[in-house]
Amino acid sequence: MNIKRLSIISCIVGCWVLISLQAALAQDSGGYRFVLAFGPWDLAEGRIDPSEQPGDPYFQYVEKTYGAAPLTISWEWEGRTGYFRGMRQYMASGQMPEAIKILDLKFGLELIEAKVLLPLDDLLPKYAPELWQTIPKDAWNIVRSMAPDRKIYYVPDLPAFHWSRAGFIRQDWLDRVGMKMPTTRDELVAVYRAFKEKDANGNGDPNDEIPVSGREGLRWCDDLFTIHGVSMYEGHPRLSWDPAKQQMISHQVSDQMKAAIKFLRYLTKEGLMDPVMPIQKKQEWVAKINANRVGHYFHTIGEMEGFTAFMERDPTARWAYLPLVRVPGVPPQKHVYVHGADPNIPVFALTTAAKDPAKILHWYNQGVATMDGFLYKSLGIPGKDWKKTGDTLVVLNKATPFYKYVPIETTQYSRDILAMSKHGEMKAPILDKMIETGFIGYDDVSLPLSVYEGYEEYMPEKATLYREYCAKMVLGVLPMSAWDEYVKAWYAGGGTKVLKRATKWYKQVNNIQ
């Protein structure tokens, strides 16, 4: 796309958004309304035009309760690329949100370098005290180290059990085809075949079922990698410490990854894996699941309600936890999970356009670090969606989107409240089994960005060579023998230097001689 055309599009997009925001901001509400650029809220999740948001009762509740509420602007997610493209075009049009979901360290560093983010060192302790105290001092120090002036410019990620990722399988499909929950890889393949051949969704068409699906870039089918011993997070192959070799290895080129790619290649050849997975957009993936066509998907437990539209037609349908099945020669695996705040994932920042930083930070603090905020995002408006009778919480409306007009991140957790949220009867037992299986963190969770300096395409979130080669091997476009060529190219292009830097860092922080 040429620069002139991009400028025209940016102007059109910016002017349209500006008109909507001006209309929303013009209303005299008594609360503070600010513009928030927020990534994950796309059309699949019921995006509302900014001009209409103040009319939403949930917006009104947040504005009245917290004294501030966000006018949310967003773009199609497209695995982050759509969001960043839309955000860049929006800023190129001369507009700037007051607050922003960054979600990518490189993008965050660009914003810091461009001097569009507001330092938070003095503001956080005063206006977001619970949040400030929740995040460890060491994590804040790493955040400071990212900026040339060593100031805090963003709030890091705050993982919670709501966002634990796992595989979910249609229990009603298993019942319909007469199969038990698989516990081994061979049993899983047998279940896939039954789903494919026996009209598992019961609509009379034995050919429209997709046993398992995923998204572009070999993403969101992590459990198929994890069972082979791959350290993977949302489709991003991580680095891990190899105690035998006394060095860091990358799962972009590990033996475990090779085994996983061979398995996905087999599934695709047999017609058991969605063949468009390496190029499939989020919208298409979600639509297939909600259309009762997919038997197994991988995602977060807290967002299960976004994948249950088929239950409106068949209330007996339900998702169940798919165990991390055993693979011959591979030790039992655990769910991959980031423990504690991750300084390398910037989730929230204020820009220099923020007119009242104190009120925005108060809103953020209440949403992520207080029990009131957790109850709201989990159950909705007290008195309307839920009520408290003695010490018991009674849910009146399970259809409430728990993230409306408050931050998704949370430092609070309660299994009981999760059980009372929409589809909690499925979520809570799944979470129990996930906790029973156990979680394991990343060895590279605090790896500094400098490790990838000059070799940014090797970062897990990009892994460009991996996605290019492995997608073709999965589809059969390249033979599996191309793995050796790929590994050789990966190391020669910068992999050796990245692993050398990562090993040096890991030994230093873990005091390994």
Boundary (domain end) residue, out of 413, 430, 460: 413
Query: Rg for the chain (alpha carbons), in Å?
Result: 23
Q: What share of the chain is helix, strand, coil (3-state, %, to 5)?
A: 45, 15, 40
The reply to whether 301 and 382 lie within a common domain is no
Q: pLDDT of the chain along its 513 residues, tens only?
A: 343 444 444 444 444 455 556 555 655 556 899 999 987 665 555 678 889 999 999 999 999 999 999 999 988 777 677 888 898 999 999 999 999 999 888 889 999 999 999 999 999 999 999 999 988 888 898 899 889 999 999 998 876 665 789 999 999 999 999 999 999 999 999 999 999 999 999 999 999 999 999 999 999 999 999 999 999 999 999 999 999 999 999 999 999 999 999 999 999 999 999 999 999 999 999 999 999 999 999 999 888 989 999 999 999 999 999 999 999 999 999 998 755 567 777 889 999 999 999 999 999 999 888 888 888 888 889 999 999 888 778 888 877 666 678 887 766 556 777 788 788 899 999 999 998 998 887 888 778 888 999 999 999 989 999 999 999 999 999 999 999 999 999 999 999 999 999 999 999 888 898
The reply to whether 33 and 99 lie within a common domain is yes
The reply to whether 118 and 198 lie within a common domain is no
Contact 165, 416 (CB under 8 A): no
The reply to whether 101 and 117 lie within a common domain is yes
The reply to whether 50 and 121 lie within a common domain is yes
pTM: 0.76
Instruction: Establish if 109 belongs to a structural domain.
Output: yes
Q: What's the length of the chain? A: 513
| Alpha-carbon gap, residue 185 to 327, rounded angstroms | 6
From the list 176, 226, 175, 185, the residue with the least C-alpha distance to 203 is 176
Instruction: Establish if 432 belongs to a structural domain.
Output: no
The reply to whether 42 and 191 lie within a common domain is no
Contact 100, 36 (CB under 8 A): yes
Sheet holding 165-170, edge to edge: 210-212, 294-300, 165-170, 319-322
Is 46 exposed, middle or buried (CB count within 10 Å of its CB: 0-12, 13-18, 19+)? exposed
The reply to whether 370 and 472 lie within a common domain is no
Instruction: Establish if 426 belongs to a structural domain.
Output: no
Instruction: Establish if 433 belongs to a structural domain.
Output: no
Instruction: Establish if 422 belongs to a structural domain.
Output: no
The reply to whether 111 and 35 lie within a common domain is yes
The domain of 135 spans: 3-158+341-413
The reply to whether 327 and 370 lie within a common domain is no
Contact 252, 237 (CB under 8 A): yes
CA atoms within 13 A on the CB side of 293: 17
Distance of CA 413 to the CA centre of its chain: 18
Contact 417, 302 (CB under 8 A): no
The number of distinct structural domains making up the chain is 2
From the list 99, 101, 109, the residue with the least C-alpha distance to 84 is 101
- Alpha helix ranges (H) inside 29-94: 57-66, 81-92
The reply to whether 332 and 195 lie within a common domain is yes
What CATH number is associated with residue 399? Answer: 3.40.190.10
Contact 301, 430 (CB under 8 A): yes
